[in-house]
Structure 1
Amino acid sequence: MSKLTAVTCRTSLSKVIETFAEPSLSTPKGPLMTFTPRLSRRRLLQITGAGAGVALLGACGDDDGGSASGEIDWWHISNTDPMLSVWAQLAKDYEGAHSGVKIKITPLENEAFKAKLTTVTQAGKPPSLFHSWGGGVLNQQVQAGLVKEISGDVGWLSQINSNATKLYQVNGKQYGVPFDVGMVGFWYNKELFAKANIAAPPATWAEFLEVVRKLKAAKVTPIALAGAEKWPGHFYWSYLAIRQAGVAGMADAAKDGSFDRPDFVTAGAKLKELVDLQPFQTGFQGAKYSATDGQAAIMGNGQAAMELMGQWAPSTQASYSSTKQGIGDKLGFFPFPSLEGGKGAITEVFGGGNGFAIGKDAPPETLDFVKFLLTADSQRKATGAGGVLPVTQGAEDAIKDPNLKKVQETVAKATAFQLYLDQAYPPAVGAQVNDSVAELIAGTAKPEQVAAAIAKTAKTK
């Protein structure tokens, strides 16, 4: 694809600057890798949003960046083990089997990724291969002419989880590929459930509220929540909206911003039912997620019965627990309950993952390398190391943790998949969801006000 003209660059760049002048989100939805702390899904969003803009700068810049023919310039955010070593070894394996191909790896932490991408793309081209979360930001990168369309070259994607693959499509065309995918669900302490005489996880919202009441009666803190960071709380409204409106209803509302429909008011009303029970730990409004006294630590130390979190929860709980072990086999998982009278099925899931996009000037070997990274054998190595939840058929046998196996199976069987709202929608809309839901949880906004605020922001984007 040719470079943008100077006029196009100036016009597109002004639009990107205007877009990203809005307040950025702070949600870490989408861990750097499947099992790293959700630490950066808030941070993730900032990076993905900024990535489209800085990449546009690169399209208008000089010639510093990109890669020579046969050299793949690969930027990823798995800057710690296990995936740091796994990616390095897989790259070495590929080089050994393909003479003349050299893979230059640049592993970066989220914020460093953001800064370096800005610097390098201002001077030249996007990297050959770089991390992507799909959704709205990928769409912006496509509009800026920064990534290659690969629709006609990826017949092998038939072996990849279709829900994950769709996250990297824009207008039905493929512009990226996933390498892992997971979902948000409830992680619970089996021992504390037993203490409250709860025989099984709840399947409906009414049953869930009853579980909360039983836990409180047994003097057990029902739910750990990082209220200071907003993004963990917005999971509740998002899932209730999905259960009430269905994933199809979410997509329909996103078209015209009509998040003030009755279904979304109902979602807020259902969340208020939970908030009124005062289910969260003392001081939750000031609690962070990744901290020694935060949400993950409270779960990891056995001080609360539940948290609503993504597939990275077990390892993050362990990392921030006082023993660095978490609660081990006392930990269980169950999907977000169904909502009586709702249009969404319990088989519709909410989550996301990680993937790759290919830069517009990438050498032809790049796509073949990506295909290699997504073979069942490569995915088994990444999964066995504890780095991803696989998307390739046949690699799921490498998952050892029974809870994570349940997560993978649930995602694989999902009848519909909703990407995290702050990745699926424009940044300002995701930010408004987080802010408004935080106000509802704090008791300063009503369900109708939450829906109206989100709709107002969505209709102006």
Structure 2
Amino acid sequence: MKMKLVRHTKWASLLLIMVLIIAGCSSNSGGNTTNNASPKPENSPVATENSTNNGDGDGDGASSGLSGNVVFWSMWSESEPQAKVIQSAVEAFKAANTNVTVDLKFTGRDLSKLIKPALDGGEKVDIFEGDPQVSIGILKDHVLKLDSFLEQPALEMDGKTVGESILPSLMNWTTSLSAPAGLEAGAYAIPQQPFAVLMFYNKEVYDKAGITAPPTTWEEFMDINDKIKASGVDPVTFDDAYRDLFIGAYLSSAMGNEWVDQLVNDKTGEMWKEPIVQQFANDIATMQQKGHFSKKIAGSKYPAAQQDLVLGQSAAYLNGSWLPNEVSETAGPDFEWGSYQFPLVSNGNGKGGHDELNFGAQSVMLNAKSDNQEAAFELVKYLISKSVQEQMVAEAQAIPATIDTAWPATLAEAQVAIERAKINAPWGYGINNNEDFSKGTIIPIFMELVEGKLTPEQYVEKMSGQAKKFYSAGN
């Protein structure tokens, strides 16, 4: 709405001059400096008395005591909603710390390939993103231990420290990664964009099939699949990017991811003859015979399966919690998402089940050789502030990393799984712990079973023989 113009008179001019004089006197009274920071983006965090602003809480860059340049490499592409939220957090940080410049680079997923050569070569990268379960081990000579920084007050969290502001399950998981990487115990990454692997389903399809609640056990899962098939929809789908998840999730639900790791690395091939593998083969063959798998599954290439899910051609898809965001344009705002943890598989050893979940978070890490660690960590505090996490929820349909932050409606059911999880399973629940064996042998032979090219007995014999052959060749 446009405001009406006021006639310019002599008295109006005099009044304006008097206001300006008074304002000028007020801004200089007592020797206080004014806040020259540029306006902060809407919904972005503001500097508070808990940030490193010497306690004055006015957000004045000159009083923050921070200066220099911070180089930040992000794993997102510039057009993605996550990148836009990160950009707004950076702008808020710069507004509150006007003596600090930020060189923000959106590298996309290539960051995982670019960061190690860059750091090995001495390139000045202060902050970088990635999956710490992979990155900490690969970059152990470069990552900074953050324990002392975690004791700093968090932004917008009512006196909590940075460490206290993050979901405990995520911080515990992140800290647990130091020992396997051969590092001194502590935290070397801060979660900022969590994920969980769950069975995502189309609620409309489930409703039309008369299903009122998602399954908990494998038997319930099979019963639901029968009903969905009878309604005219393919019950389960996946594509070439996520085939591994279904194998690992089943075996891990029964036996736990440590057993799956032993299976994958068994050089004799004998573990593939164990009863639970035969049960797995029988159950997959039954799904194939009943038509539970998508008719397109043999040649399904990413991202075809996720499009089939939101278009109602398939009912459920084992994937990560980024799925609703990835297909938001196709799904539209009225699409009803459901999710549940992979069903409980019977006849296991009691070490799997719903205590175990493949979850984690894309995280921020700092370069141990950074010459501007204080400013870099202050920027990290903005990235994990409550308002920025709320923006991630609103704009990227992402799970928030901070406590006491509402989850997106599309992932409400995922919150239960993450909060009850006691064991963090690796990607694929351990089925990828020897990547060459998984890609070259485990997944292709699994697909032969899914497509009905092998009987369950043939599957067991072939996997046992191929495992022994693979490791006999010195792999």
Q: Provide TM-score, normalisation by structure 1.
A: 0.71
1:415 to 419, 422, 425: 422
SS of the residue 1:71 aligns to: strand
- What is the deviation of 1:287? 1.7
Alignment-derived partner of residue 353 in structure 2:
345
Alignment-derived partner of residue 70 in structure 1:
68
SS of the residue 2:353 aligns to: coil
Alignment-derived partner of residue 60 in structure 1:
none
Matches within 5 A, 1:296-375: 296-319=306-329, 321=330, 325=332, 328-329=335-336, 331-342=337-348, 343=350, 344-362=352-370, 363-365=372-374, 366-375=376-385
Alignment-derived partner of residue 393 in structure 1:
403
CA distance in 2, matches of 1:151, 1:453: 46
- What is the deviation of 1:109? 2.1
Counterpart residue identity of residue 338, structure 2: G
Decide whether the 8 Å contact of 1:301 with 1:326 is kept in 2.
Answer: no
Cα 1:317/1:388, change in 2 over 3 Å: closer
Q: How many residue pairs were aligned? A: 378
Counterpart residue identity of residue 437, structure 1: F
Counterpart residue identity of residue 350, structure 1: N
Matches within 5 A, 1:22-61: none
Alignment-derived partner of residue 93 in structure 2:
94
* Larger RCO (CA within 8 A; separation ≥ 6): 1
CA distance in 1, matches of 2:143, 2:469: 32
- What is the deviation of 1:97? 2.3
- What is the deviation of 1:116? 5.1
Decide whether the 8 Å contact of 1:440 with 1:447 is kept in 2.
Answer: no
Matches within 5 A, 1:53-202: 70-79=68-77, 80-111=79-110, 113=111, 117=115, 120-121=118-119, 123-125=121-123, 127-142=125-140, 145-155=141-151, 156-165=162-171, 166-167=173-174, 169-171=177-179, 172-202=185-215
CA distance in 2, matches of 1:455, 1:371: 50
Any gaps of 5 or more consecutive residues in structure 1? Answer: 1-67
Q: Per-residue displacement from partner, 1:300-345 (whole Å, max 9, x unpaired)?
A: 11112222222122233343x3xx527613x322221111233222
Q: Per-residue displacement from partner, 1:9-53 (whole Å, max 9, x unpaired)?
A: xxxxxxxxxxxxxxxxxxxxxxxxxxxxxxxxxxxxxxxxxxxxx
Which one is further off, 151-160 or 335-344?
151-160
SS of the residue 1:174 aligns to: coil
- What is the deviation of 1:216? 2.3
Decide whether the 8 Å contact of 2:267 with 2:471 is kept in 1.
Answer: yes
Decide whether the 8 Å contact of 1:83 with 1:387 is kept in 2.
Answer: no
Cα 1:202/1:387, change in 2 over 3 Å: closer
CA distance in 2, matches of 1:456, 1:418: 28
- What is the deviation of 1:295? 0.8
2:436 to 428, 434, 444: 428
1:222 to 230, 235, 238: 235
Alignment-derived partner of residue 253 in structure 2:
243
Which one is further off, 417-426 or 204-213?
417-426
Decide whether the 8 Å contact of 2:73 with 2:106 is kept in 1.
Answer: yes
SS of the residue 1:280 aligns to: coil
Cα 1:438/1:254, change in 2 over 3 Å: closer
Any gaps of 5 or more consecutive residues in structure 2? Answer: 1-65, 152-161, 180-184
CA distance in 2, matches of 1:417, 1:154: 22
Counterpart residue identity of residue 302, structure 1: G
Which one is further off, 162-171 or 128-137?
162-171
Alignment-derived partner of residue 296 in structure 2:
283
- What is the deviation of 1:87? 0.9
- What is the deviation of 1:455? 8.4
Q: Per-residue displacement from partner, 1:160-214 (whole Å, max 9, x unpaired)?
A: 2233332462204322121121212222233333443334322110111122222
Larger radius of gyration: 2
- What is the deviation of 1:232? 1.9
Counterpart residue identity of residue 340, structure 2: F
Cα 1:300/1:115, change in 2 over 3 Å: same
Counterpart residue identity of residue 130, structure 2: S
Decide whether the 8 Å contact of 2:126 with 2:373 is kept in 1.
Answer: no
Decide whether the 8 Å contact of 2:237 with 2:315 is kept in 1.
Answer: yes
- What is the deviation of 1:385? 2.1
Cα 1:237/1:426, change in 2 over 3 Å: closer
CA distance in 2, matches of 1:349, 1:368: 32
Counterpart residue identity of residue 219, structure 2: A
- What is the deviation of 1:350? 1.9
CA distance in 2, matches of 1:456, 1:147: 38
Alignment-derived partner of residue 42 in structure 2:
none
Root mean square deviation of aligned Cα: 3.4
- What is the deviation of 1:152? 4.2
Cα 1:74/1:209, change in 2 over 3 Å: same
CA distance in 2, matches of 1:358, 1:86: 20
Decide whether the 8 Å contact of 1:196 with 1:215 is kept in 2.
Answer: yes
CA distance in 1, matches of 2:245, 2:447: 11
- What is the deviation of 1:120? 4.2
Counterpart residue identity of residue 373, structure 2: P
SS of the residue 1:279 aligns to: coil
CA distance in 2, matches of 1:121, 1:244: 41
Q: Provide TM-score, normalisation by structure 2.
A: 0.69
SS of the residue 1:223 aligns to: strand
Decide whether the 8 Å contact of 2:244 with 2:432 is kept in 1.
Answer: no
CA distance in 1, matches of 2:96, 2:471: 49
Counterpart residue identity of residue 419, structure 1: P
